[in-house]
Amino acid sequence: MSVTLQGFRRTAAGRSERTAIEETKTDRIFLIGVKIMLWIALIIVAVPLIYIVANSFSSASAVSAGRVLLWPVEPSIRAYKEAFSDPLIMKGYLNSFIYAIGGTLISVTLTIAIAYPLSRRTFFGRNVIMSLLVFTMLFSGGLIPTYLVVQDLGMLNTRWAMVIPSAIGVWQVIIARTFFRSTIPDELYEAATIDGASDLRFLWSIVLPLSKPVIAVIALMYAIFQWNSYFDALVYLKDPSLYPLQIVLRNVLILNTLTGSTTTTNLAQQLEQQQLANVLKYALIVISSLPVLVIYPFVARHFTKGVMVGAVKG
């Protein structure tokens, strides 16, 4: 039985190798079609990105005349200089870093603190608690009722409003819990207890070191979410000195409110200011996406795994 199976496998493999070499004509044409399609997809995604970068490095007059396409025209970094010397933009940048780092620390800690007990079979009531968490994904009180809670806690217009109300994501809890469950065997816990380890000691010295990959994934998820979000800031913050970068971006890019308030009566200068404002937009897009871009290779490697872990229902 096993011999014939082996023999069959070998012939199958042999055949498939042969067919791979002698692909039929239609298959080859089909493959060319597939490649063309992928090239088109690549171009569609890449062109707007390149366009933005090319514009950000061009001169103000070239941008305003719409002369830039995929390569900088009259290269200049004036827009970047301008952006980095704008106090409001820099303040937003700093704030975003504070929210992203602080928020991620809080979020990861709280997520592990709830995901780990829920992953333990001996934890009483874990199914009830899990259902309560999942329910919050399906139904929420809404914008205003949540706003009232934040208001009552005195968090309105404070940095806390940026990191606390959205601290724990149920999805991240599910990912972490599934990971703990599938990679930390019960035997390990039993062995640790025999050696006298308490639950917390076990979590700290054994589970966490073994869970570095999943912690990296959820930390990245929280950090990118925090960096990119603007809704909480829009709703809870009024003081411009607390604004994260995304709100500053929205004001400059979408609402067209210039940050630099240098009013000149000179027409030529005004025109130049207007032109500079246009390049500034492109430069701002690049600057604001830079931190995410820097960690992107890392993210691309780890994110997929995280998505997969989460997709396995626990």
Partner 1 sequence: MSATFEVKPAPAAPARTEAVKRTPPPRPSRRTAAGRSLRRHWQLYLLIVVPLAYFVIFKYIPIANAVIAFKNYSPVKGPWGSDWVGFKNFELFFQNPVFWTLVKNTFFLAAYTVLASFPIPIILAIALNEIRNGRFKKTVQLVTYAPYFISTVVVVSMTILVLSPRLGFVNDAIGLFGVPQIDFLGRPDYFRHIYVWSDVWQTTGYSAVIYLAALSGIDPALHESARIDGASRLQRIWNVDLPGIMPTAVIILVLGVGNIMSIGFEKAFLLQNPLNTAQSEIIATYVYKTGLLNADFSMATAIGLFNSVINLFLLLGVNFVAKRITGNGLWS
One of 7, 77, 84, 143 touching partner 1 (CB under 8 A): 143
Residue 246 touching partner 1 (CB under 8 A): yes
Site string for partner 1, 262-281 (x = CB under 8 A): ----------------x--x
Output the smallest distance, CB 311 to partner 1, in A.
7
Greatest pairwise CA separation for the chain in angstroms: 93
Contact of 63 with 282, CB cutoff 8 Å: yes
One of 61, 146, 158, 273 touching partner 1 (CB under 8 A): 146
> In angstroms, rounded to a whole number, what is the distance separating the alpha carbons of residues 259 and 245?
13
Q: In this structure, what token pair is assigned to residue 81?
A: 């200089």
Instruction: State the number of CA atoms in the 13 A half-sphere of 192 facing the CB.
Output: 17
One of 5, 45, 267, 268 touching partner 1 (CB under 8 A): 45
R_g over Cα of the chain: 27
Site string for partner 1, 89-128 (x = CB under 8 A): ---------------------xx-xx-xxx-x-xxxx---
Phi, psi of 174 (to 5 degrees): -65, -45
Output the smallest distance, CB 269 to partner 1, in A.
20
Contact of 251 with 99, CB cutoff 8 Å: no
Residue 198 touching partner 1 (CB under 8 A): yes
Residue 24 touching partner 1 (CB under 8 A): yes
> In angstroms, rounded to a whole number, what is the distance separating the alpha carbons of residues 149 and 143?
10
> In angstroms, rounded to a whole number, what is the distance separating the alpha carbons of residues 64 and 59?
9
> In angstroms, rounded to a whole number, what is the distance separating the alpha carbons of residues 246 and 93?
9
Output the smallest distance, CB 109 to partner 1, in A.
9
Q: Which among 72-80, 82-90, 206-214, 286-294 is the span making contact with partner 1, rule CB under 8 A?
A: 286-294
> In angstroms, rounded to a whole number, what is the distance separating the alpha carbons of residues 245 and 229?
9
One of 99, 189, 222, 243 touching partner 1 (CB under 8 A): 189
Output the smallest distance, CB 147 to partner 1, in A.
7
| Cβ neighbours of 278 (radius 10 Å) | 17
**Residues of span 68-87 touching partner 1 by CB under 8 A:** 69
Q: Which among 84-92, 197-205, 208-216, 257-265 is the span making contact with partner 1, rule CB under 8 A?
A: 197-205
Q: Which among 15-23, 78-86, 209-217, 257-265 is the span making contact with partner 1, rule CB under 8 A?
A: 15-23
One of 72, 102, 230, 273 touching partner 1 (CB under 8 A): 230
Output the smallest distance, CB 78 to partner 1, in A.
17
Residue 88 touching partner 1 (CB under 8 A): no
Residue 143 identity (one-letter amino acid): L
Residues with Cβ within 8 Å of residue 182, at least 6 apart in sequence: 312, 314
